[in-house]
Chain A
Amino acid sequence: MARDDDRHKRQRIRNLAVGGILIALVILFYLITVVKMSGGAGA
């Protein structure tokens, strides 16, 4: 029982970390695409 809880808790932390990184990357790629498509890349 305790072992399951422990495993779930570890998996949750790992999933949250990976999920956070993926969401941050999706937002970054979205912003890059918007900037590139609007031609506002600067010099």
Chain B
Amino acid sequence: MSDASLGKETIETRVNTDLTRVSDYFALLKPRVMSLVVFTGLVGLVVAPGSLHPVLAITALLCIAVGAGASGAINMWFDADIDAVMERTQERPIPAGHVSANEALAFGTVLSIASVVLMGLAVNYVAAALLAFTIAFYVFVYTMWLKRRTPQNIVIGGAAGAFPPMIGWAAVTGDVSAESLVLFAIIFMWTPPHFWALSLWRDIDYAKAGVPMLPVVAGRDVTRRQIVLYSALLFPVAVMPYVLGYAGVFYGIGAAILSGLFLVLALRVWRQKDEESAKQLFAYSLLYLFLIFATLLGESLVRTVI
């Protein structure tokens, strides 16, 4: 091989490495979690009474997305040791050696502060305070305190993922109301069965990393019972927007059917005790949350047009 072609190859490799670095930084923001957070935040924005200028609404969503992503980056910095052990997380940028832990911490910290400051200056201080609280809760309460200490880690820690619709709501109204708390409660009740369904077939991975997930500490039967319990509690919470009058009949019926099916699948996990039913519940739980919030969003948009 000639020197020239060798040089060209090196350039291409390095350029690719640069682009990979950009995608590594993007991966630090946990884009899949971010998309869910942006979606539920958008629903909070649209469903809330009142209006917000589209530029400020986009800014609020951007702040929610960046704040959530930043807390994900700090989470990856702190959890780099267990991410390296678990099969599911081994390819994350830090354990893969693409980004150093300190770079991830700096990246996450800068973006956290920037997102909260921008939210406060551009939108309002209540939304900014809620965003700051969400980031702090995810980083300090869930990541640093609960995750490695208690099998109830995702029950309490799940609250961090439940805040975005409240932040979206607060961006419009400037306050926290019962209606926005119900949106919070839906995600809060949804989180444990969603993650425990996953942990039912990933429990060996969690055990290897020393994370006290419920199936690792209390066993799979207890986990299955808890899944059924939270799925049953999810039902009344999910229909609450209709009961409180800020969602219509279409949502009410839809939420009842979707939550009923959620409970049926949870009961199947409990009865069949196999991996397949847990995988089905996990897949359905993702669809469930999307459909619940999409129905709320669709109904609200239709009401606005009519």
A→B interface (CB under 8 Å): 1-3, 5-6, 9-10, 13-14, 17, 28, 31-32, 34-36, 40-43
Contact = CB atoms under 8 A, between A and B. Distances in A.
A14 B18 contact: yes
B305 interface: no
Interface of B: 3-4, 7-8, 10-11, 14-15, 18-19, 22, 49-53, 55-56, 59, 62, 121-122, 172-174
Contacts of B19: 13
B52 to A, nearest CB: 4
Contacts, number: 56
A10 B17 CA distance: 9
Contact of A42 (B8, B22, B62, B172): B172
Contacts of B15: 9-10, 13
A14 to B, nearest CB: 7
A41 B7 contact: no
The A contact surface, by secondary structure, is: helix
Contacts of A35: 53, 55-56
A32 B56 contact: yes
B259 to A, nearest CB: 31
A40 B53 contact: yes
A14 B260 CA distance: 51
A33 to B, nearest CB: 9
A42 B51 contact: yes
A2 B7 contact: yes
Contact of B11 (A6, A14, A40, A42): A6
